[in-house]
Amino acid sequence: MTAAASHLTLDRVFAVSIVLKGLDGLAELIGGLALLFLSPAALREALGDVVSFVLVGHEHSPVFRWAMHLGDSWGTRTTLFAALYLLLHGIIKVVLVWALLRQQLWAYPWMLAALGVFIVLQCYELIVHFGWWMLALTLFDVFIVFLTAREWQLHLRRSEAAADVEALG
């Protein structure tokens, strides 16, 4: 594979990864808004419906019991915290992804900083409550950090080259 082809491939991987991160942010916004408007009882009922649908015929399984316990343990404060957490994550991701897709130079360092904070929080969560999904999300975020840093450097070089050409002409 030539250098130009590998650059093109990495650019495409970056674009797809950023779009996935944006969809994740959109899902967090929707989830956060839903939590704001659902009472803990309604949340438990919705969780029960989803788990019952997914685990048809397995209502006595440990996963079903765990999900129902989770629904029972969530009070108003926990629901509000989760809603605000999801809304904040979602807003940050959607705004930064939108700016990156529009190639706004200011968004690159902000995305790196935001992902850095998310990665630190996710690593803490991995230490306290290890989960394979959290590990996968953390590794995906680390991957996006590398791609974002690469894209930022490319944009800086292009901006400098354009400024040099403009100064000469």
Q: How many CB atoms sit inside 10 A of residue 119's CB?
A: 17
Say if CB 99 and CB 22 are below 8 A apart.
Answer: no
Q: Find the domain containing 46 and state its range.
A: 3-168
- Looking at the chain, list the stretches that DSSP marks H as alpha helix, in order from N- to C-terminal side: 3-37, 40-54, 62-73, 76-101, 107-128, 132-168
Task: Give how many domains the chain has, as a whole number.
Answer: 1
| pLDDT 10s digits, 99-142 | 999 989 999 999 999 999 999 988 998 898 888 888 998 999 99
66-81 pLDDT, tens digit each: 666 666 666 667 778 8
